[in-house]
Amino acid sequence: MSPADQRDEKKFQRNVFVLDRLMTYIENFISILCFSAMVVLVLTGIASRFIFHIPFMWLEEASRYLMVAGVYVGVSMGIREKAHLGLTFVVDLLSPKPQKLLRMALNALLIFLCLYFSYYTISFMYQVQTNGQSTPAMQFPMWIVYIPMGIGFIFGAIRGMMVFWNDFICKDHILSYSDDEVQAN
């Protein structure tokens, strides 16, 4: 490998590392914000309903959408940490070379599915926006509620590509995983 190629590879690795840290920060911020706001809204809803006897339906609806937003952003976090469901029983029965090939195929399938769901989520958001649909209690534009789903799948596809590159292409692993994942490999 020429010195220019080595510099390009190091620059690419540095960019992947920076992108990983940035995405992790964004995911953590959104998740913490969504779940914290959800807890506050649920507790406020409980207090308004049972203490003051004034139910606010929009609190339940908003907390539901915040939970969904946190979960879909968490998709990307799960892919990065390899916390998604896997067929480890089948993979573990294979010898090392077929194991690696199957893991590569499953990772590629995961990337494809995230891209597929991203595309259809964005198409669906456009349809909902065109129809002018709004949420029942808050009368909030419904297409905005689907944005976290799109972000989660787009981030999931990016994370899947990063994991694929880190685990199967790159010589120096840039991404570090949780202790459980390192022990599982």
Question: pLDDT tens digit string along 104-137?
Answer: 999 999 999 999 999 999 999 999 999 999 999 9
Q: Whose structure tokens read 């220019």?
A: 4
Max mean pLDDT range (1-10, 25-34, 82-91, 167-176): 25-34
Q: Which two tokens stand for residue 127?
A: 């349809």
Segment holding 137, helix H or strand E = none
In order of 47, 61, 178, the CA distances from 51 in angstroms are 5, 20, 43
φ and ψ of 31, to 5 deg:
-65, -45
**pLDDT (tens digit per residue) in 71-105:** 999 999 999 988 877 767 778 888 999 989 988 99
Q: Which two tokens stand for residue 86?
A: 């896997």
93 CB-side CA count, 13 A: 3
Contact indicator for 109, 164 with CB cutoff of 8 Å? no
Domain boundaries, the chain: 3-184
Contact indicator for 177, 82 with CB cutoff of 8 Å? yes
Supply the pTM of this predicted model.
0.85
